[in-house]
Amino acid sequence: MLRVRFAPSPTGFLHVGSARTFIFNWLYARRNRGTLVLRLDDTDVERNTDASVNSIFEGLRWLDLGWDEEYKQSERLALHRQIADAIFQKGLAYRDFTPAHTGDSEKSGANQTWLFNPGMRELSRAESDRRAAAGESFALRFRVPRGTGEPVRFNDAVYGEQIKSADDIEDFALLRSDAMPTYHLASCADDIDLRISHVIRGQDHLSNTYKHALIFEGAGAKPPQFAHLPLLVAPDGSKLSKRRHGPVVSVTTYRDAGFLPEAFINFLCLLGWSPKDDREKMTRQELTDAFSLEGINRSNAVVNFKEPAATPDETFDPKALWLNAEHIRALSVDELSARLLPVVHAAGFSIAPEQMHAITPLIRERIKLLRDVLTAADFFFVDQLPPYDPAELIPQKGDTAMALKILTRAREVLAQTEFKHDPLDQTLRAAALEMGAKAGQMFQPIRVAVCGRKNAPPLFETLEVLGRETTLARIELALQKIQ
RNA sequence: GGCGCUAUCGUCUAGGGGUUAGGACGGAAGAUUCUCAAUCUUCAAACACGGGUUCGAUUCCCGUUAGCGCUACCA
């Protein structure tokens, strides 16, 4: 039975790199009818926060992918200690009574690799037991084979066969002096206990995996299949971090900007993985069907946002924006309308579902993010148009007099025309012809009068949705402005 | 410093001993159109560098350089 896990540590919001790891695990589980375990790796009591736990769940819920089982590492400490003890009893670990380092002072100027603590490593078992019994606190360290030139190895589904001399691996800690397990121990102990068959995680753990191989072996367990994912990095190549890059790395930023979860998932999948057949826009189902560990590449992928962003859109990778637009266009009017409505309501406009439904086809091709509805369809939502420059009412190659004439005539004909696309089309074109104006010259003043700007959806559809009353009132106001 | 991983257009990537090195985003130009979008067409844009191996390397090997990761009683 295939079992994978996503194991975030709740020390910050859910960031895009973690989201991608989750998605890949989900895809792999679904593709192979396996089980996805969500495990909160919360053994770092100092740094864990409830806010972070909430943020992670919030992000995962938005992704709308789900999982099958859920655990908290902090509730499984007995298991971790039991496995640590088993390793210790086999003589594969030793007690280190050296007081814990405070801060990272030991790193300053240190160009010598710390590998182990000879005094403690050689301590006799009797002496070690005596000091422990006397209540002296200690960390438990793995006794990595020394001087034997023995290699530690594991196979990675992405990076291939990995081999390292044990002489280059330090005696890492299993238990801290407060008896709390370290990440390495807790993670492996839980992977063993939860019968995880495949560990799919970020490449920052690739070199840690040698330690994990040692723990699995020490615990007498068969190691899972590992698959490390290339890292997601900022345009300058640095690791994505909250401190340096701010909200651009948080999943909720994408949600709040109006990304569709399916588009966001699609985007993340294309970072470090390829279906190898030139497909870009893919549905959740298509991704599931196409996903395989073989398609994962080995080099880091840049999330191409601008830093700093000159426009709000520059916060996002252009490809993410394009994919979102693609997914938006793939939605039916019903679906898109339903997703747009809460965005409009959240902005404080009260608009009926039927109205939204009528507006949706007019903007579907003009928005990249759901929030763009607020700028693309603003004139549908307000009673009073915000102020605009009356000069905008003047058509191409025309003057004020022409604008005046056109709007006056439009007011006349629109008072009688049926407010449907075809009649509006015929009437306004006829009016243009009769005045010796080009169609475009006729339409622009009306468009500006009604929308408050030159760039807007097609005119007849817009008028149809707006209705006669509003249209005439706005033309009236435009006439006042221009005089 | 030590150990490790990586290196194809600006970005995401396909490819692989002989190719006009393909696609996508973004950019530029044009077509279409009532504006803006959308759509369509075209263009510019890459195998990090140096040695091998080979008839032939962007592809295989080694080195250099660069980037990244690990080197915590963080995860």
- DSSP secondary structure string for all residues of A415-433: HHS-SSHHHHHHHHHHHHH
Checking if the pLDDT of A105 tops 70, the result is no
HSE of A297 in the Cβ direction (CA atoms, 13 Å)?
A: 12
Checking if the pLDDT of A55 tops 90, the result is yes
In this complex, the residue with its CA at the shortest distance from the C1' of nucleotide B26 is A318
Q: Which amino acid is at A433?
A: L
Instruction: Give the residue from A16, A83, A11, A64 showing the smallest Cα distance to A41.
Output: A11
Nearest nucleotide (C1') to alpha carbon of A170: B71
Distance between CA atoms of residues A107 and A110, nearest Å:
5
Instruction: Find the mean pLDDT for residues A278-287.
Output: 96
Residue A276 CA distance to nucleotide B15 C1' (Å): 10
ipTM of the complex: 0.96
Checking if the pLDDT of A148 tops 90, the result is no
Nearest nucleotide (C1') to alpha carbon of A462: B34
Checking if the pLDDT of A13 tops 50, the result is yes
Q: Is A329 near strand B, with its CB below 7 A from some atom of it?
A: yes
Contact A177, A138 (CB under 8 A): yes
| Cβ-defined contacts of A54-59 (< 8 Å, 24+) | A55/A12, A55/A13, A55/A14, A55/A250, A55/A252, A56/A8, A56/A10, A56/A13, A56/A14, A56/A18, A58/A14, A58/A252, A59/A13, A59/A14, A59/A19, A59/A250, A59/A251, A59/A252, A59/A255
In this complex, the residue with its CA at the shortest distance from the C1' of nucleotide B37 is A366
pLDDT reported for residue A248: 86
Distance between CA atoms of residues A159 and A140, nearest Å:
31
pLDDT reported for residue A108: 38
The reply to whether the predicted model has a pTM over 0.80 is yes
Mean predicted lDDT score pLDDT of chain A: 93
Q: Is A302 near strand B, with its CB below 7 A from some atom of it?
A: yes
Distance between CA atoms of residues A222 and A213, nearest Å:
9
Instruction: Find the mean pLDDT for residues A326-355.
Output: 97
pLDDT reported for residue A112: 64
Residue A51 CA distance to nucleotide B49 C1' (Å): 49
Distance between CA atoms of residues A48 and A42, nearest Å:
6
Residue A452 CA distance to nucleotide B54 C1' (Å): 70
Catalytic residue among A242, A281, A306, A319: A242
pLDDT reported for residue A452: 96
In this complex, the residue with its CA at the shortest distance from the C1' of nucleotide B36 is A455
**Inter-helix orientation angle A353-363/A333-346, to 10°:** 110
Nearest nucleotide (C1') to alpha carbon of A235: B11
Instruction: Find the mean pLDDT for residues A255-284.
Output: 97
Q: Is A164 near strand B, with its CB below 7 A from some atom of it?
A: yes
Contact A373, A367 (CB under 8 A): yes
Q: Categorize the per-residue pLDDT at A457 as very low, low, confident or very high, splitting at 50, 70 and 90.
A: very high
pLDDT, tens only, A385-398: 999 999 999 998 88
pLDDT reported for residue A17: 95
Q: What is the DSSP letter of A190?
A: H
Better-predicted residue by pLDDT, A349 or A113: A349
Checking if the pLDDT of A234 tops 70, the result is yes
pLDDT reported for residue A44: 82
Instruction: Find the mean pLDDT for residues A357-362.
Output: 98
Residue A246 CA distance to nucleotide B58 C1' (Å): 38
- CA distances, A466 to each of A175, A217, A439 (Å): 69, 71, 21
For the question of residue A222 being annotated catalytic, the response is no
Which of residues 58 to 77 on A have a Cβ less than 7 angstroms from any strand B atom?
Answer: none
Residue A304 CA distance to nucleotide B44 C1' (Å): 21
pLDDT reported for residue A90: 96
Q: Categorize the per-residue pLDDT at A327 as very low, low, confident or very high, splitting at 50, 70 and 90.
A: very high
Which of residues 177 to 236 on A have a Cβ less than 7 angstroms from any strand B atom?
Answer: 177-178, 180, 182-184, 186-187, 203-208, 230-231, 233, 235
Distance between CA atoms of residues A180 and A449, nearest Å:
69
Task: Please tell me whether the peptide bond between A308 and the residue prior to it is cis, using omega within 30 degrees of 0.
Answer: yes
Q: Would you state the structure tokens that stand for residue A467, as one six-digit string?
A: 């209705």
Instruction: Find the mean pLDDT for residues A214-226.
Output: 97
Distance between CA atoms of residues A12 and A44, nearest Å:
12
E runs forming strands in A28-82: 35-40, 69-72
Instruction: Give the residue from A371, A365, A381, A400 showing the smallest Cα distance to A478.
Output: A400
- The mean-pLDDT minimum among A45-59, A128-142, A283-297, A342-356 falls in A45-59
Residue A242 CA distance to nucleotide B74 C1' (Å): 16
User: Which residue is listed with tokens 């938006």?
Assistant: A328
Nearest nucleotide (C1') to alpha carbon of A326: B38
Q: Give chain B positions with protein CB within 7 A.
A: 1-8, 10-15, 22-26, 34-38, 67-75
Q: Categorize the per-residue pLDDT at A117 as very low, low, confident or very high, splitting at 50, 70 and 90.
A: confident
- Runs of H (alpha helix) within A194-304: 209-218, 242-245, 251-257, 261-269, 284-290
Q: Categorize the per-residue pLDDT at A147 as very low, low, confident or very high, splitting at 50, 70 and 90.
A: confident
- CA distances, A53 to each of A46, A248, A261, A422 (Å): 14, 19, 20, 55
Q: Which amino acid is at A284?
A: R
- Runs of H (alpha helix) within A147-283: 183-193, 209-218, 242-245, 251-257, 261-269
Which of residues 395 to 454 on A have a Cβ less than 7 angstroms from any strand B atom?
Answer: 439-440, 443-444, 447, 454
Distance linking the first and last C-alpha atoms of chain A: 78
Contact A442, A431 (CB under 8 A): yes
User: How long is chain A?
Assistant: 483
Distance between CA atoms of residues A444 and A448, nearest Å:
6
In this complex, the residue with its CA at the shortest distance from the C1' of nucleotide B1 is A111
Instruction: Find the mean pLDDT for residues A89-99.
Output: 94
In this complex, the residue with its CA at the shortest distance from the C1' of nucleotide B7 is A299
pLDDT reported for residue A109: 40
Contact A373, A336 (CB under 8 A): no
